[in-house]
Structure 1
Amino acid sequence: MSSDDARNDARNRTSTGTDPIDIGLPVEPVRAAHGASVVEHIRAALDTRTRALLAHDPGTRSGSDPEDLHRMRVSVRRMRAVLKAGRSWLEQDWCRALRAELGWLGRGLGPVRDLDVQLAGLREEREELDEAERVPADRLVDELTERRESARADLLEMMRAERYRRLLWSLGEAVHGGPPIASDPPAESDALYELVRDGVRTVERAVGRLGDPPTDERLHALRIETKRLRYCAELAVPVFDGVVGEVLAAAEKLQDVLGVHQDAVVTEEWLWWLTHGDEDGSGPAPVRDPEVVFVAGRLAERARARRVKQREAWWPAWRKLRRLEL
């Protein structure tokens, strides 16, 4: 059987499976040579992240380890970031459509992951409470768990859909034949260096828009731009180590600081919603027991303290990134 016949046979199977060959990926992982074009590096990144997505698909479905879902979400985000970074050389309609489909999957993974993070933090905080306060804290855990199970049911429905299978096949085809290009990409890898440099400039512009003091929303936007820079640096660091590796490390640090800040912001928002309901009054508070409300208030105070601490830490992390010369 030829390779094309094997691909067609796999396409006609009723189940996608988690074997990379089942969605058309090459038998061996794609590796971009040191001097390969930026599009070839994008192809290799798509291959790596698609294989990771497939590897964590079964665990995400079973729910046995939240880290599987986390790794799937990271893979989706990195593929979207790489496609956005390389859109100048990729066929625009194709690139836009694939990013949109990855975004669709990300919107299913995101709520479950966000609730996993909140639940892990809440359970950790619970252990530090007085014994008498742990039972009320359990009510908060139960409420978030119920929300998480609802979000997970929506995700599993998405992963059973034909649309998900088509997305996997689209990724397999992009890796197998190479992404369709709109113009001849630079023959050398220098374009990767420029992507990192552009990413640093984008982060710098985001810092300039923050205002004093910066809002939580704008700090979150800065985190997103920093994350995109990090993904571009990961794409380039095998070719350009040195300062690009330093940019990667500095971007990771800044992203981590802003991530802890955002987690604290979301914790406060969740605790407010659980005890006060929707801000516009359209929905009642899920929790009204005075003891539970009191414990929620204590936990919210701790979250706010973490948020304040990270607001003091992000600027030094940014200065370290800004000082690097590209």
Structure 2
Amino acid sequence: MGREFELKLEIPAAAANKVMRLPWLWEQASGEMQPRQMSTTYFDTPKYALRQKGISLRVRRIGAKNIQTVKAITPRKSSPIDRSEWEREIGGQLPELRHVLGTPLQEFKRKKLRKNLTPVFEVKVERSAYPVLSANSAIELAIDRGSISSGDANTSFCEIELELKRGASAELARLARRLASEVPASLGLKTKADRGFDLRSDQGARIYRAEHVRITPRSRIGHAFQLIGWSCLRQFALNADAVRVGNFEGVHQMRVGLRRLQTVLSIFEHLIDGPETDAVEAELTWLIDELAPARDLDVFVEKTLSPLSEDAAEDAALKCLLENVKTRREQAMQRAQEATSSDRFRQLVLRTALWVLAGEWSDLAELEGVRPEARIENFARRTLKKHTRKVARKLREVRGLDVVARHKLRLAVKELRYTAEFFSDIFPSARRHQRRFAKILARAQDNLGRLNDLAVHRRLGQEFVQTWTLVDLNRNGAASNENAAPAIQYALGFAIGQEQHESEACVNAAYAISRRLKRAQYF
């Protein structure tokens, strides 16, 4: 079994030649450029059984050779960019399954797998590879210009692969950072297999939800931070495509990924504290703020105005209000799209990735009494106990909290819930306790979330009245914009008033949950 430590950078095709002409890169290059033409076929079953297990199987033709490769992300990986791979030269262009012993494919019945395997897509690449050496590392820099085809569908790509052959991941980060200062490089989170399966599915921009992160009791604190942080980064960064095509669920899931990453910054603060972390946190906050209006207005439309409009089908004022808020929602979505399409976003994602992999924090042996090489179990116990006590205490005070304090409490509940999810595999014998703990937090989050929705809707209502721009909806029965304004303002007050009666019930439910949380066990 081999290990692959690889970082990808996506670049415009026009930038590839500039990279190959960088003087400082040639000074570090050892040996000649190695141009190669490669044709690779990926295989899976019709129901993508391998893909669902996180496994890829390919046969690559390079010259006269056929190389069969199995790749997988294994539970004991030592880095977020570490994958296990098994390579073997074979005689033909079809997989030879007798060679899969010792790989993740061995769990499949070979006869059944052989019968069901089929080519899924083909990748053709022109690769220019350079060995880049320094005193502390050996890195292969490969520029891949290629295309992926599946049936009549095809797409092209251009990317830089930085594969660590010797040395620390900090050297990969250093080289990636310098390349990104020369060309507009973006972090590449999708493998060629990912691109191929996306093309095959033909479902447009995917929605990426939180991934399960496997942290064992023997995991080191620094390693756990990297794995969890990288998972959160993937969730928010990969949803950018969905946001750019106007998908509101993409906005929601990007915000979830960002909030999860903020939780990581909070629970590991003594390990990662420093100016670089402060800069990353400031950029995450900027992006959350850019996405917030689209999410707030979408919730108002889908949870409040649309149901009311359906119940009062003949109410022209409600229809006019709904269309007006939808227009504002689209404007907010444009703001989110501009943010995720900006150079600032590109730099944010890459900067965050390099910080997770090899930020300043990774060079320090000890900060505030927390050692990166210490095991995670005791740290997880202390963290969960501390945050559980804090949240339970605040829930008991919920009846006396103002809107701002309730909002902070809601975020604290989210943080505790995410932390419990991050650390769940550290305590495998406590699954029953964990499920009960998760249900308690989910209910608290639902009630506090609804209270936050009510507060946001009141704020939106005030903003609408102060900055009203009506959409011409005469076709829906409004006499005119001028005459419709009082009726629509009344409809707005009616819509917001309809849900305010929920407030007391949500507060009482949150208060009751405090007793259950105080008694709950997690370990």
Matched letter for residue 116 of structure 1: D
Alignment-derived partner of residue 269 in structure 2: 87
Match in the other structure for 2:349: 168
Pick aligned residue for 2:386 from 160, 174, 198: 198
Which position in structure 2 is the counterpart of 1:264? 454
> What is aligned with 1:316?
512
Offset at 1:239? 1.0
Task: Give, in whole Å, the separation in 2 of the partners of 1:325 and 1:158.
Answer: 42
Match of 1:127 in 2: 310
2:186 aligned to which of 4, 11, 16: 16
Q: Tell me which of 36, 41, 45 is aligned to 2:228.
A: 45
Q: Show the counterpart of 1:230.
A: 417
Conserved? CA contact 1:137–1:295, under 8 Å? yes
| Correspondence for 1:69 among 251, 260, 269 | 251
- Structure 1 residues 207, 48: closer, same or farther in 2, change over 3 A? same
**Could you tell me whether the CA contact under 8 Å between 1:193 and 1:240 is conserved in 2?**
no
Paired with 1:32 and 1:179, the residues of 2 have a C-alpha distance of 23
CA contact (8 A) 2:272 2:361 kept: yes
Conserved? CA contact 1:268–1:303, under 8 Å: no
Post-superposition Cα deviations, 1:141-198, rounded to whole Å, max 9, x if no partner, equal 2222232233222222222322211111123223444772441233342201211112
SS in 2 for 1:189: helix
State the alpha-carbon separation in 1 of the partners of residues 402 and 460 from structure 2: 18
Distance in 2 (CA, whole Å) between partners of 1:261 and 1:176 is: 38
> 1-side partners of 2:254 and 2:437: how far apart?
25
CA distance in 2: counterparts of 1:66 and 1:46, whole angstroms: 24
Residue 439 (structure 2) aligned to one of 249, 262, 275 = 249
Of 273, 285, 302, the residue aligned with 2:498 is 302
Structure 2: runs of 5+ lacking an equivalent: 1-128, 132-138, 142-160, 163-174, 193-211, 471-480
- Tell me what 1:26 maps to: none
CA contact (8 A) 2:454 2:500 kept: yes
Pair 222,188 (structure 1): closer, same or farther in 2 beyond 3 Å: closer
Q: Sort the Cα spacing of 1:293 and 1:284 in 2 relative to 1 into closer, same or farther, 3 A.
A: closer
Aligned length: 310
- Aligned equivalents of 1:132 and 1:272: distance in 2? 25
- Whether 1:136 and 2:332 are equivalent positions in the alignment is no
Shift in Å at residue 18 of structure 1? 5.6
RMSD: 2.9
Q: More relative contact order in 1 or in 2 (CA 8 Å, sep 6+)?
A: 1
TM-score computed with the length of structure 2 as normaliser? 0.54
Q: Which stretch shows the higher mean deviation, 312-321 or 236-245?
A: 236-245
- For residues 234 and 221 of structure 1, the distance between their equivalents in structure 2, rounded to whole angstroms, comes to 20
C-alpha separation in 1, matches of 2:387 and 2:394 = 11
User: Measured at CA, do residues 112 and 255 of structure 1 come closer, stay the same or move farther in structure 2, by a change above 3 Å?
Assistant: same
| 1:189 maps to 2:359 | no
Q: Which moved more, 1:75-84 or 1:5-14?
A: 5-14
Write the distance in 1 (CA, Å) between the matches of 2:347 and 2:383. Answer: 30
Larger fraction in helix: 1
Give 5+ residue unaligned stretches, structure 1: 23-28, 278-282
Match of 2:336 among 155, 168, 171: 155
On the 8 A contact 2:444/2:510 being kept in 1, the answer is yes
Greater alpha carbon shift after TM alignment, 69-78 vs 166-175: 166-175
Tell me which protein shows more strand as a share of its residues: 2
Tell me the amino acid that sits aligned with residue 324 of structure 2.
E
- In the superposition, relative to structure 1, how do residues 176 and 218 fare at CA in structure 2: closer, same or farther (>3 Å)? closer
Matched to 1:58, the amino acid is D
> Is the partner of 1:88 in helix, strand or coil?
helix
Q: What does the per-residue CA deviation read over 1:269-313, in whole Å, with 9 as the maximum and x for residues that have no partner?
A: 3234434x2xxxxx6786862322332232122111222321232
